[in-house]
Amino acid sequence: MGKITDFFKAVLGICETQELRPDMWRLEGNSARIQIEQAPELAAADGAIYLKGKGLKYPVLVVHTKDNGYLAFTNRCTHMGHRKLDPVAGEAILRCCSVNHSTYDLQGKRLSGPAKGDLEIYDVEVINDEVVVKL
């Protein structure tokens, strides 16, 4: 049953990572600011959320890394389906949620699959309990 469900999720491009509600983050100039306490999905290593809307050209995936840092990427596979991505727990990779499952490392570099290029990666800082993504 699980494998069938996983297959249909992949066909539909459904990821595990959820969008952070728009009222839980804000855009200030060229920075997206997330109050860490408003995003419990980011609390643990391998946790992730994505941002969309508010004039962002593409959704932005924000990942809490094992070494207690944060990384941000364009949440858009470079393969033609342009599906979103999930972090893979314990493996320090991102995986496309399509059937083809292209993978990328945490520097955004394409590792496998039909994706054509690397992901755009954004600088991230933690300032006063906020994750600040420089877009």
| Interacting residues with ligand FES (CB under 6 A) | 77, 79, 81-83, 96, 98, 100, 102, 113-115
Strand order in the sheet with 18-19: 18-19, 48-51, 60-64, 70-74, 121-127, 130-134, 31-35, 25-28
Output the smallest distance, CB 86 to ligand FES, in A: 11
Output the smallest distance, CB 39 to ligand FES, in A: 25
Output the smallest distance, CB 122 to ligand FES, in A: 20
Q: Output 31 or 100, the one with its CB closest to ligand FES.
A: 100
Six token digits for residue 115: 């994706």
Q: Output 20 or 78, the one with its CB closest to ligand FES.
A: 78
How far is it, in rounded angstroms, from Cα 74 to Cα 133? 11
Six token digits for residue 132: 């600040």
Output the smallest distance, CB 109 to ligand FES, in A: 15
Q: Output 96 or 106, the one with its CB closest to ligand FES.
A: 96
Q: Output 64 or 83, the one with its CB closest to ligand FES.
A: 83
How far is it, in rounded angstroms, from Cα 53 to Cα 47? 21
Closest listed residue to residue 54, CA positions, set 75, 29, 82: 29
